[in-house]
Amino acid sequence: MIDRLLRIENLWVVGLLMVAVLVALEARWRDDPQRAGAARAIKVTIRVGFGLVVLAILLFLAALILIGPIGP
């Protein structure tokens, strides 16, 4: 059961759901004076996360170009 939950496809879905929840909270709390700081922190977290995803993709592509395809 646990191995089915920890598959890569499920982890992507969980990550995307987390981003969707954070974006919704940030949009809802943006105009609330009591939660404006939390909304800004969420926005920064989302931007840093997307930046890290883009960086990981670029590093993966660079590794593919430098190392080349693996296999026969």
The burial of 70, by beta-carbon neighbours within 10 Å (0-12 exposed, 13-18 middle, 19 or more buried), is given as: exposed
Longest C-alpha distance within the chain, in Å?
Answer: 61
* Number of domains composing the chain: 1
Q: How confident is the model at residue 1 (pLDDT cuts 50, 70, 90)?
A: low
What pTM does this model have? 0.61
User: Domain containing 24: what range?
Assistant: 2-67
72 in a structural domain: no
Q: How confident is the model at residue 5 (pLDDT cuts 50, 70, 90)?
A: low
pLDDT digits (tens, 9 = 90+) for 17-71: 888 888 888 888 888 888 888 888 888 988 898 888 899 989 988 888 888 777 6
59 in a structural domain: yes
Q: How confident is the model at residue 72 (pLDDT cuts 50, 70, 90)?
A: low
31 in a structural domain: yes
